[in-house]
A and B are shown apart, each in its own frame.
Chain A
Amino acid sequence: MTQPQVQSDSAPVLEVRGLRTHLGPARQPVRAVDGVDLSLRRGETLVLVGESGCGKSMIALSLMRLLPPTGRVVDGEVLLDGRSLLDLPEVAMRRERGGRIGMIFQEPMTSLNPVMTVGRQVAEAVQLHDPAHAGQPRARVLELFRQVGIPDPERRLDEYPHQLSGGMKQRVMIAMALAGRPDVLIADEPTTALDVTIQAQVLDLLRALQRETGMAILLITHDLGVVAEMADRVGVMYAGQLVESGEVGDFFRRPRHPYSRKLFAALPDAGKRDRGLDVIPGMVPPLNQDFPLCRFRDRCEAAQAVCGEAPPPWRGGAADGYRCHLAVDEIRLLHAATPPLRPAAPAADRPLMRARGLQMHFPIRRGVLRRTVGHVRAVDGVDLALYPGRTLALVGESGCGKTTVGKALLQLLRPTGGTVEYDGHELTRLRGEPLRRLRRAFQIIFQDPASSMNPRMLVGDIVAEGMRAQGIGGDRAAQRARVAGLLAQVGLPESAMQRYPHEFSGGQRQRIAIARALAVEPRLIVCDEPTSALDVSVQAQVLNLLKTLQAELGLSYLFITHNIAVVAYLADEVAVMYLGRIVEQGPVGTLLNTPAHPYTEALLRAVPVPDPAHQREVLRLEGDMPSPANPPLGCHFHERCPRAEARCREAYPPQVELAPGHRVACWVAAQGSSMPRMVK
């Protein structure tokens, strides 16, 4: 193995010069990568960050020569240890790929062949790229599995991908990439599909492997928190170009390019609660055009006359500079452009909607007779109260049942137990017409703006659908006027009514979804991860809109998310879910600053903070969430809990009120508090 440190004086192991990659027809190509220079030294991590559609992934695919069929590198050089990769014949390139350059992809689910055992898949990579072990790959595969921290590797070797969790699959992918003992590892959003606690594990692993082997890592991400955590150097991509690069510390202390600075300003956090987030107006321009000027000019507040005259020069050195006409102190950005928002409504006495002991058990049927052999306890006794004008955030990792709670509250799934009370009505017992009429009071906004709208309907009809179903809004002309008004309210032009959803960007579609929900004048909106499919700058627009609407209309939100920063920015109260139950619930400040439950603590600590100076003390969670079909006895969390005691294995802890409104279900936390009061 090589020396485990950054050899800053050595020649770069990977060097990219003037890379240009085009996609699509030659007449009007999409210039996905348009003149990018990079250099990467041994033991160093370079992170490329930027919004979707900026060409980050295309750089990785160009380096690996794995471009889609319509793509081609039209110009530039890629040198691996001084040897040009782009000039290699395909046969030789195949040896480099997976040999000296390894790659891991975003989706571990689709990167593994489902009908081969993971051991054999890794063995294949060993046989191809590690001649020393080609004859007996098994020992080497075991070694790799141990290296990437797969527990019980002998058994895992013979398992199929579907038997492994997402985090395990990503470890297998990393093992495969390490099989050829690569000098360079390219990781394209390796943790985006994973939960934060698993993300923390994988990022730790990558860092440990880098220390051990001295490989260089090119990491691609959109998450500034991951950048702070992983990077030695940062490159900011915008519209196919690098717009800024530099050392990670300098970058976070003093970002220079207006785009980088706006990205930071758009991040939600607790400190910005009382005002709107900065937004970057517009969106990334389509790349199928020539850019004679600065690509960011149309969205830039600091743009000046000179920006309309020539393409911006690169200021500073190749490894430390930015692409702008203006010097740093000439760039004037308007921060907090939105006026301060009205503070959230004070807690009312009577909740708008209250769920007690909510249960959603899905039967597991087996055999010819489809007998019920067990239940998936997706939601297993949840108590929630939603107050008018306030936001309750429901936080948890994927599979914990938070989306199911949202749908069960709205009776989109009929709960199998418990009660949901709304305005004196017991919703779980209502059916047919009475329930249909009540539906206008509570609406839902979904995560994926692409699938939440019928692609065959015009936006005008989509927004009007609820009004028509509920028979409100008057005649057709009045409805049209109202739809136009709603679109204006969410910041879209009236002409949007005559267009189809696919003609809009993700953020715009999410605003259409909000307009659609508002059309029936609801009092409560369940927001099911409404911003997790969006880029940071767009997320800021949607969060601002939600916050403004709440202040104007007194809406009550159930905000389902896994993004703690959004919670800190938006929520009044937080409930943390684990395996179908709420483990801790309380006011946002208390819960985020002094979490009582070990799971909450682990979750909060696992979130990467966009500040490289911030040294987080990781509370390592081992393993994955157990299956809700077969929850562990006692406290559901005890198998992964670093503080578990004997009684945690015996009985599920009761809810204890630590402070007014702050309840926790944990034996250890209840014991530690000064005045535990049993509430149940």
Chain B
Amino acid sequence: MMGFQPVILATDALIYLLVILALAFAWYTRRHAHLRAPWRRVAASRTAMGALVVIAVYVVIGLLDTLHFRPASGEDAQGHARYASEVQSVLDLLATPLVAHREKTYSAPFATHLYTRETIELPGGGQVRDFPRLKWGGAHLGDPARRAGDIAWRSAAGVALGAAAWLLWMALALRRHPGGWRAWWADPGRAPMRTAAWVWLVVLILAGLVLTLAGVYHILGTDKVGEDVFYQSLKSIRTGLVIGTLTTLVMLPAAILLGIMAGYFRGWVDDVIQYLYTTLSSVPGVLLIAAAVLMMQIYMNNHQDEFNSLTERADLRLLFLCVILGVTSWTSLCRLLRGETLKLRQLEYVQAAQAFGVGHFTTLMRHILPNVMHIVLIVVVLDFSGLVLAEAVLSYINIGVDPNTNSWGNMINSARLELAREPVVWWSLAAAFVFMFVLVLAANLFADVVRDAFDPRLRERS
């Protein structure tokens, strides 16, 4: 039996923490009416529910890519299991064919031949310069000319598979619904759920297409070293999500604590904190990030033996990038919270607490913090897409994640030179763009609805 050894990288641990926090928050929300109400407004939005399905698919892929382990690679002399040095994730396991189907170099999406001419030894001796057949892409085809028919047939099967899965899903989900699916379909209150169902249909059809096509073709082509671009794009999802969420997790404690302290205590506390964030936000963020990342790089190069594997090293660099992004981005939230706290501390219930002799810390935790949480939530959700995009920009100028980490920024970075080629290698860039665009669009749509639902001023107007 093949054993395995679970591995928890630094970012994995934080992601688990984030998941636990999210679950705790959901549990807390269920018990508090004032938190339930705005989420119910979110759930009543068709846009939000559609976007949520897309985000959920990304999150599931990202979480699958977070479950890391080392596969057993045999037994040592004492009969103890030995484990491979390279760390894998569950996603790698599921995508084994994509990992294994490695070509020599570039190939276009759905190609059967390489993108570059090579000298091919003819069986009967002699050489010819031509586009060689790919080792894996379309290898099952005896005759490459039958490719179009094969793709059409497999696509049809994929669509059918997706649709069938969707129908099965809906049948199971609506089994208990009173009045059956007809009532569900006609109920105007269920319109958001129907939107989600339609998006889910699209997702399942895409999944079906991937199942039938990705095993035998490189559906998004291959890159310079022959790696499947679709696989790279999938792996990049985790990086994007980690940057978008962990950065916030890192910066939140500082931003919240300093923000409400500045607004509540005023006086010299306010002066110090304002001075701190004004100074920090005056330094160009890119400069700070570049300096920190380069320092980190030098440290890592000088202490190579401290890291067990390349993956671990790359992961630490990713975490470090989150931290430094967090350090440069907490100021805006801090400023917002300070302003809101200035307003809240004038409110009569804060003064009533003062009249009872309630302590400062208790007042902050009981009266101020819960009443600024909506701002925190709005900012977190709005910042997410900005951070995902920031990663791409930073990696593009080589101060982002480790070059060994799959990320959309790295994909764009490595594809930029190929854009000058004739004919152009466009698919790496296009794949990164599409994956990032879908995630950011969904996140933005969702964020807009969340903001509308949580912002009390907007609520009064509607």
Contact = CB atoms under 8 A, between A and B. Distances in A.
Contacts of A412: 351, 354-355
A436 B352 contact: no
A437 B356 CA distance: 9
B356 A451 contact: no
A456 interface: yes
B362 interface: yes
B353 A469 contact: yes
Interface stretch (B113-121, B325-333, B365-373): B365-373
B288 interface: no
A419 interface: no
Nearest to B34: A456
Interface residues of A, number: 32
Contacts of B371: 454-456
Interface core residue of B357, B358, B371 (most chain A CB under 10 Å): B357
B357 A439 contact: yes
Given A444-B351, A469-B362, A500-B33, A454 B356 contact: no
Contacts, number: 68
Contacts of B348: 446-448, 451-452
A516 B351 CA distance: 13
Contacts of B367: 454
A379 interface: no
Interface in A414-471: 435-437, 439-440, 442-444, 446-448, 451-457, 465-466, 469-470
Contacts of A469: 353, 356-359, 362
B33 to A, nearest CB: 6
Given A456-B370, A469-B362, A451 B355 contact: no
Contacts of B362: 469
A520 B356 contact: yes
Contact of B355 (A70, A439, A454): A439
A516 B352 contact: yes
A366 to B, nearest CB: 18
A566 interface: no
Contacts of B351: 407, 412, 444, 446
A536 interface: no
A410 interface: yes
A454 B33 contact: no
Contacts of B357: 435-437, 439-440, 469-470
Nearest to A465: B356
Interface in B60-105: none
Interface-central residue, B348, B362, B371, by most chain A CB under 10 Å: B348
B347 interface: yes
B198 interface: no
Interface string A39-74: 000000000000000000000000000000110000
Nearest to A513: B352
Contacts of A453: 349, 352
Contacts of B359: 469
A516 B356 CA distance: 10
A444 B356 CA distance: 9
- Among B351, B356, B358, B371, residue most surrounded by chain A Cβ atoms (within 10 Å): B356
A457 B355 contact: no
A439 B348 CA distance: 16
Contacts of B354: 412
B36 to A, nearest CB: 11
Contacts of A447: 348
Nearest to A449: B348
A439 B349 CA distance: 16
Interface in B340-388: 347-349, 351-359, 362, 366-367, 370-371
Contacts of B32: 456
Contacts of A516: 352
User: Which of B32, B349, B355, B358 has most chain A Cβ within 10 Å?
Assistant: B355
A466 B349 contact: no
Interface in B1-58: 32-34
Nearest to A70: B462
A469 B33 CA distance: 25
Contact of A465 (B34, B347, B353, B370): B353
Contacts of A446: 348, 351-352
A435 B371 CA distance: 28
B211 to A, nearest CB: 44
Given A451-B347, A500-B34, A457 B366 contact: yes
Contacts of A70: 462
Nearest to A516: B352
A588 to B, nearest CB: 27
A442 B34 CA distance: 32
A102 B355 CA distance: 47
B349 A443 contact: no
Interface string B444-462: 0000000000000000001
Contact of B358 (A444, A465, A502): A465
Interface string A509-545: 0000100100010000000000000000000000000
26 contacts: A412-B351, A412-B354, A439-B355, A443-B356, A444-B351, A446-B348, A446-B352, A448-B348, A451-B349, A452-B347, A452-B348, A453-B349, A454-B371, A456-B32, A456-B370, A456-B371, A457-B366, A465-B352, A465-B356, A465-B358, A465-B366, A466-B356, A466-B358, A469-B359, A469-B362, A470-B356
In the A-B complex, list the 7 residue pairs whose CB atoms are closest, starting with the nearest.
A436-B357, A466-B356, A452-B348, A446-B348, A439-B357, A456-B370, A469-B358
Interface of B: 32-34, 347-349, 351-359, 362, 366-367, 370-371, 462
Given A70-B462, A465-B352, A502-B34, 12 more contacts: A436-B357, A437-B357, A440-B356, A452-B347, A452-B349, A454-B366, A454-B370, A455-B34, A457-B366, A465-B366, A469-B356, A469-B359
